[in-house]
Each structure stands twice: as structure tokens, then as C-alpha cells.
Amino acid sequence: MPPELASILYQFGTNAAFLLLSALGLIVILGMMNIINLAHGEFMMLGAYVASFTVHRGIPFPLAVILAFFATGAFGIVLERLVIRRFYGRELGALVTTWGISLILAQGALLLFGPYMPPIPIPGGAVSEGVYSFSVYWLILIGISIALVAALTLIYRATPFGLQARATMQNPAIARSLGIRTGRVYMLTFGLGAGLAGLSGALLAPATSIAPFMGQQFVAPAFITVVVGGGANVIAGAIGSSTFLSLIETPVSLTLGTFYGTMALLIMALLIIRVLPAGISSLGAHLRPAVAR
Amino acid sequence: MTDSENFPAGPGEIEPAQPSAPGSGGPTRRGLLQGAAGIAAAGVVLAHPNIVRAASETPVKIGFIEDESGNLSIYGIQKLHAARLAVQEINDGYTLAGGPVGSGCLGTMGLYSPAPPTLTSGPGAKLNIINDGGTPSEQAIVTADTQEILIPSGEKGLLGRPVDLVSSDGQSNNTLWQQLARRMIQQDKVDVLMAGFASAEREAIRPIVDQRKQLYFYTNQYEGGVADGYTFCTGAVCEQQVIPVMQYMVEKFGPKIFTIAANYNFGQLTAAWVRSFAPVLKAKVIGEEFPPLEVSEFSSVIAKVQAAKPDWVMTLLVGQNQSNYYPQAAAAGLHLPMASTVNMAQGYEHKRFTPPSLANMHNAVNYMQEIPTKRNQDFVTRFYKMFPNDPYLGQEAQNAYFTIHLYAKAARLIGTTDQEKVRRTLEAGWAIEAPEGTVFLEPATHHVSHYIRLAATDEKQQISFLREWPMIEAWWLQRLGVNLVRHPEHKQYTPQEDPFFKMFG
């Protein structure tokens, strides 16, 4: 492979993985539960904090990432029981509430732990290809993000919990009448979303500075990925939008610079939402009936 | 009143040491007449001696806006804490040594030395001394840095009044900054405003400052060029930082430069300085990248740097998100020498990131807490005694600290907090002893000469200082003929406006 091609593929892969990891928890919470969760970035921050805290107490990084998933998930479940469940079906109420939670979490982290946490060294070295060299850890992250999305699909398509969750999100009243404990489903789904946000926060922690307001950098990419992906099939939508948006961003960044790359991404997101208000995944829904019938 | 407070005033309209009993005097008759213009403004109450006496217990309000939360909080909190230390010291009856020295000149020292410089031999002594003619008979270093810079001011507080730090959180949000500046000026009626980390924040509030004729200090290092009659810029600027560090980098590593700069006025203009000055050093900027502040994933930037193969990289990255560049570049195997005017001294990246992310980084700073001089280590001790849990005491924090002391000294000398009069007193030209060394406030440009040191990191990200320039003037505005005392103006100059730089290609 010529080094230029390897470099472009690597940039494309890291851009898409960054979008996908940023969006991972939000796919569940916004995409499935329809809660506009403005505390998404702070959930990721919590995951990174747990990872930093545990890594610096001698726990290996992969284990710390798993711990971050469970700790943030547990935190999400508590939050759902205490606050979030009172706002189901009230999108704007949930928006303001989660915004408040995000402020409390970020400022609380600043007051409790100070302006930054000890960094986590990036695992793995670099591999070279011509003049270019690539971070092994980012290559692993690309793989992990694909695996995580596959696992999420599996949970929702192939497990009883997934079936119950899909039923509950589609029509809670009927789901309840069929004996599904919808309250429990909501709680676990929110916990899963929070846990996934914490997990990706921990995974991205070595490549970022771990600090109280670090969550903000992920919020915009996460929402753009999920909203552009659309609600018809959230997971496929998120894969589609992260792939598509990085396909636009990478070549523009490469030729015109990062500034125009970011701009191209935003303009493209705007165009897609204008042309396909229900997101990229609605494209599939448009096509499917024609194929199926 | 200490000796230094009776320092002879410079030429011009400043009444020498008139308010010998602070708080009881108020302005002189002559000063009052001269301040007639100022009386028309908001300072009317304070300018009247009788009312000053009656209101002697109302505090002097120092308005202070910094980002205590958000993307830039890592800098704002340091500045706030250093400001609190300065206010505490003023209220406890202390001031920094120094005083007005007239129009001043290069090498003017605010402190008249209590003792002649002393020669010390021992480790590090490299100066050959010829005592009685002929061959060198001794090796030594000259040290004169044993004197205490924090001295009694002769009163607790300022002009018989306590000093209050009225602080607000700008939340790293430019629109909020405008609201806060308006509130500070109109509602809180602060006697002086000290505010601003990012240049975008400063430019957001400067029109409001000008409109209300507010005495304003911008304490950050920045890209330079602000010529504003109401604004005093006490941080270092490009000619003091960019040029020294570029000289060193080109000499040591080579002429091919790649610049990565935050995409707003600071980054764009500092990059323009690098571009403009490169031909003077027979160097060349072979690539530039301007990532927006929101960007936190840098694979494209890293690939571009690798493809361009520069000798070294100028990184002008600002904020939490952009500091991610360093670990990401290190992980991708990019280990080029780096230079900066912002990193380490402000956001202590060398402490926050694991080696080798910040290895081989160079920055010509006016302050870092690692400066080994006694006066600085005393300052560092005082700071951590007040804020034991703080992670770092950086350049802009030190600037905020000495600027508050500078303001208090000027107000104390003229005997009032009337903003117009304090402003004109500051235009006498002041040299005071800051923790970094002697700093000199140049009257015509409202900028400060700094003690610049070239800081560099080794593989373990330990700081050492490679070169020192005891006083570099902020000469660029002088070159452009700015004289705010004679010709008030309210604009920011950019390198593109200076034909000097175009001469070299």
C-alpha cells in the first residue's frame, strides 16, 4: 500500500472512530429513549476520571476501561431512578434537567478533584509507513469502536432484553400490557447508555487531557452523529453518519486544512438534516419497502 | 510610607509624593483642575476630597473577570488565585518594591539596590574575574537578587480603604464576557477592571471599556498590537517571545518551520509574526494549520506535519481540547522539536501530560514557577501557602499578581482612585519588582518590558532555562510610532500593516 493511501485510510478511520465513540452512549439515550441528554459529555468525563483514578492505583488499563463502564452505568441507573424517569415524554424538561446535571457534574469535578486528573499514557507505540507513522492505540480504537457497535446491535437484535427494550421504546403501554416491566427496561437502557458513554470516555482518555470540562468536546460530534444518523435504525444510522461525515471531513482537512474540514463536516450535517430530516437511516427505510414488497 | 513610596515622581504633571498621609489627603488643587475632564465621568464622587473622606471605608473595587469554568478554566483559576494573593497582601500592608521612573529607558531598574551586586563563587560560576590585572584570578557569578521585593506599603489597604476583589466567572464564553464587563463597569462601578485570557475575550470587551472610559488592564501574554488609551497590556507580546525562541530554534534545529495555531485572532496573528520574522532569520514557514478551538482529534494535522518534514514545529495551541495534540502526536511517533509562546507557561502541559508528549518543547516565557531566583521562590511559597492544593502557578497568574500591585502603587501615589488620574499616573512610566524580575511599564504604548527566559524541557519534561534576556522591550508599537499619551487611539495593529516585515520577502 502506498504510504499516502495508508495515511488517508488512517485519518479516515480515526475520524470515524472518534465520531462513533463520542456518539456511542448517545445512540442509546437519544436514539432509542429520545432523551436529549446534554450531560452526555459529562458521562464520558466520569468514565475518563474512573479510568485515570484506577490506572494510577495500579489497575491495568483494559480493566480500568471495564470498570469505567460499570461505574458510569451504575451512576446512570441512580440518576435515572432519582431524576430522569420523571421526565419521560417531556423532551424539553429532560433537556433542561440534563443540562443542569452536566453543569453540576463538571463544576463538581472541578471542586472535588481540581482542574485536571493525572494523564494515562497512550498504550502501544507507533508503526511507520514511509514518512508517515501511526499510533497503534488509535488503530486498536478503530477496531474497538466497530466491535462495540456490533455488540450493541447484538444486544438489541438477539437478546430478550433487546426485544423488550425495542417494544418498550415503540409503545410503552402495549409493552406494559404484555407484561414487560417497562420501568426496569427504561432504567437499564439509560444505565447502558451512560455506561457506554463512560466506556468511550475511558477509551479516549489517553488521547485527551482528563479535566472537568473535557466532556464538551464530545457533545457536538455526538449529537451530530446521532441526529444525522436518524432514528429509523439508530445503530446503522450512526455507523452510516460517522462513515459519511468522515468521508467528507478527511479529504477536505487534508487538502484545505483542519478549519475547512470541520466546516465541511458541519455543512454536510446541515444539508443531510435538511434533505433527509429523519437522518441517513431513513434512506434505508425508504428503500426497504420497495425491496421487500 | 516606605522609602520606595517616596520615590521621586517623573517629569510631567504628577505631584511628587503629595499624599504623604494616604487616605486623608485626596487630590491637590492642581490635580483637581487637571482632572476636570475626569470629573465629568463616573469618577465624580471619588474625585471630591470631602466625599472621599466621608466614604473612606468604602472598599476600592478591583473588577476581575477570568474563566473559572469551561475550556479555558485551567488558566483562569490560577489567575484568580494569584489576584487574591495580591489583594490579600495589599490589605495586610504590603507592596512590591519599585516606583515611577519617568519616561525610563532600557535597563532602568525600579529598585535602587540596597547593596551592590555581590560576587559568588561555587557551582555554576562561569565569569572570569580579573582582580588585580593580568590573568583571571577568580571564577564567580554576579548575584544581586537577595533583596526582598515584598515590602511594607505603610498602610493596610489602599488610601485608608480596604481593597475588594470583585470577581466573575467568564465561563470561556465571549458573549457572557460582554455582559459581565458591562455589569462590572455600570453596576459594580469598579475602580479598575482586570480581565481577559483569550484575545477574543479582550476584543469582545474592549469596545465597552472604551465607551465607558474604564481603566482596564489586560494581563495576558498575547499577539501584541493593541494601542488603546484606556487599556494597559501587562503580559508579554510577540516581539518579546516569538523572536527570541525562533532565533534559538533556527540556530539549533534548522530553518524549516511548521506552524500549528489555534484558529482565532491570537493564533492567526502570532502565526503571522512567525511568518513575517522567518525571512529575517533566513528561515521559512513550510506549512501552517489552524485548527478551530473545538477540534480535539488531530490525526489530519499530524499527517500533514509528517508529510511536510519540518525541522521543528511552532505550536500555538490554546485550551483544553487543543492540548490533546501533544499526547496524540507523541503516540503517532511524531517527535519533532517544538516551540511555543503559550504552552507550559500557562497550561503547565509539561506537568499534565506523561513524557514524552511534551519533551523537547521550547518557550521564551516571562514567567514560570520553576524560575530558581530567591524572589520567585519566595513568591511561589507565599502562593502555595494560600492555595496549597493548586497544581501550578503560571505566567498569566504572575502577571495578574504584579499588575494589581502596580495599580495599587499608582493609586497610592496620586492619592485617589479617580480613573483618569490613576491612568495618567501610570503613564509616568513605572518599574516594579515582580517575581520574574524588574518589569517596566512603558508610558507611550501602555505595554511592559519583561525579563524573558527561554524555558526548555528534556525527555522527562523537566524544565531548564537555556537563555535569559533581563529586559526585552515591547518595541513594536514604538516602531509604528504609537504614543498614547500624545495621540490617544483605540485599535489593534497587525503585522501586515508594518512594511518592515515585507522588506525581507
pTM over 0.90: no
Asked if A7 and B307 come within 8 Å (Cβ–Cβ), the reply is yes
> Is A53 near chain B, with CB under 8 Å?
no
Nearest CA in chain A to B306: A132
Question: Helix crossing, B419-426 with B395-414: angle to 10°?
Answer: 110
Q: Say if residue A263 is exposed, middle or buried (CB neighbours under 10 Å; 0-12, 13-18, 19+).
A: middle
Write out the H or E segment, with its range, that includes residue A260. Answer: helix A258-275
Average pLDDT estimate for B311-330: 91
Is the bond preceding B356 in cis, omega lying within 30 degrees of 0? yes
Which amino acid type is present at position B298?
A: F
Q: Which three cell numbers stand for residue B241?
A: 517571545
Smallest CA-to-CA distance from A129 within A253, A8, A250, A15 is with: A8
pLDDT at residue A285 in the model: 61
Q: Using an 8 Å Cβ cutoff, are B238 and B476 in contact?
A: yes
What pLDDT does residue B1 have? 39
Q: Is the pLDDT of residue B442 over 70?
A: yes
Chain A residue whose CA is closest to B328: A207
pLDDT by 10s per residue, chain A, length 293: 788 889 999 999 999 999 999 999 999 999 888 899 999 999 999 999 999 999 999 999 999 999 999 999 999 999 999 999 998 888 899 999 999 999 999 999 988 998 888 889 888 888 888 888 899 999 999 999 999 999 999 998 899 999 999 899 888 899 999 999 999 999 999 999 999 999 999 999 999 889 898 998 899 999 999 999 887 788 888 999 999 999 999 999 888 888 898 899 999 999 988 888 888 888 766 655 544 43
pLDDT over 60 at B489, yes or no: yes
The interface predicted TM-score (ipTM) is 0.84
Cα of A217 to nearest chain B Cα, Å: 6
Q: Do A135 and B297 touch (CB under 8 A)?
A: no
Is B110's pLDDT higher than 50?
A: no
A 10 A CB-CB count for B203 gives 17
Nearest-neighbour CA in chain A from B171: distance (Å): 11
Decide: A101 and A80 in contact? Cβ < 8 Å.
Answer: no
**Of residues B325 and B113, more confidently modeled:** B325
Rounded to a whole number of angstroms, the distance from the CA of B290 to the nearest CA of chain A is 6
HSE (side-chain half, CA atoms, 13 Å) at B271: 23
Task: Say how far apart CA B490 and CA A80 lie, in whole Å.
Answer: 54
Parallel, antiparallel or unpaired: strands B98-100 and B430-434: antiparallel
Choose the closest CB to B352 out of A14, A209, A258.
Answer: A209
Q: Are the C-beta atoms of B357 and B326 separated by less than 8 Å?
A: yes
Instruction: Select from A112, A209, A267 the residue whose CB has the most chain B CBs within 10 Å, as the one to mutate to test that interface.
Output: A209
CB-CB contact of B387 with B364 (8 Å): no
- Partner residue opposite B299 with nearest CB, options A11, A124, A128: A11
Could you tell me if B454 and B345 are in contact, meaning their C-beta atoms sit under 8 angstroms apart? no
- On whether the CB atoms of residues B195 and B67 are closer than 8 A, the answer is no
What local confidence, expressed as pLDDT, does residue B145 receive? 57
Is the separation of the CB atoms in A224 and A264 below 8 Å? no
Q: What is the pLDDT of residues B33-82, one digit of tens each?
A: 444 444 343 333 344 444 444 445 799 999 999 998 877 888 999 999 99
How far apart CA B164 and CA B63 sit, in angstroms, is: 8
Q: Which phi and psi angles does A44 have, rounded to 5°?
A: -65, -40
Residues linked to residue B139 through DSSP beta bridges, in sequence order:
B128
On the question of pLDDT at B25 being above 50, the answer is: no
pLDDT of residue B49: 42
Q: How far apart, in Å, do the first and last CA atoms of chain B sit?
A: 55
In 10 A of CB A1, how many CB atoms?
Answer: 9
- Contact of A98 with A36, CB cutoff 8 Å: yes
- The reply to whether residue B297 touches residue A18, judged by beta carbons under 8 angstroms, is yes
With CB atoms and an 8 Å threshold, state whether A250 touches B389: no
| Chain A / chain B CB contacts < 8 angstroms | 129
Distance CA B426, CA B443 (A): 7
d(CA B290, CA B294): 11
Mark yes or no for CB contact B300/A254 under 8 Å. yes
Percent of chain B whose pLDDT exceeds 90: 57
The mean pLDDT value for B312-326 works out to: 90
Give the relative orientation of helices A136-158 and A234-256 as an angle to the nearest 10 degrees: 160
| List of chain B residues whose C-beta atoms are within 8 Å of the C-beta of residue A122 | 327-328, 330-331
CA dihedral B348, B349, B352, B353 (to 10 degrees): -160
Alpha-carbon distance B362 to nearest alpha carbon in chain A (angstroms): 20
